[in-house]
Amino acid sequence: MPHRARPMTGLLVFMGVNLVLVNTISPVYDFVCFHPYWERRRERSRREREAAQLNGPLKTTN
């Protein structure tokens, strides 16, 4: 029995799956991008950079 192509059904299924994925990616994106970890990391790196500027270049003696 040969397979019968149903392009309209395939297109509707494909679009339905994409719609579900698009609707679920937004909360995941918001959770990952606005997680407090990133803010803490940004602040820590800013403090380290400021401390390095205040100390000036490190001088080593041989």
Q: CA-CA distances (angstroms) from residue 19 to 3, 24, 28, 52, 55?
A: 27, 9, 15, 48, 54
Q: Could you give the CA distance from residue 28 to residue 37 in angstroms, rounded to a whole number?
A: 15
pLDDT for the residue numbered 54: 86
pLDDT for the residue numbered 33: 87
How open is the CA angle 53-58-59, to the nearest 5 degrees?
A: 145
Whether the predicted pLDDT of 1 surpasses 80: no
Q: What is the pLDDT of residues 4-61, one digit of tens each?
A: 778 899 999 999 999 999 999 988 889 888 889 989 999 999 999 999 888 876 655 6
**Residue 43 is part of which domain span?**
24-50
Give domain status of residue 55, yes or no: no
> What is the domain count for the chain?
1
Give domain status of residue 32, yes or no: yes
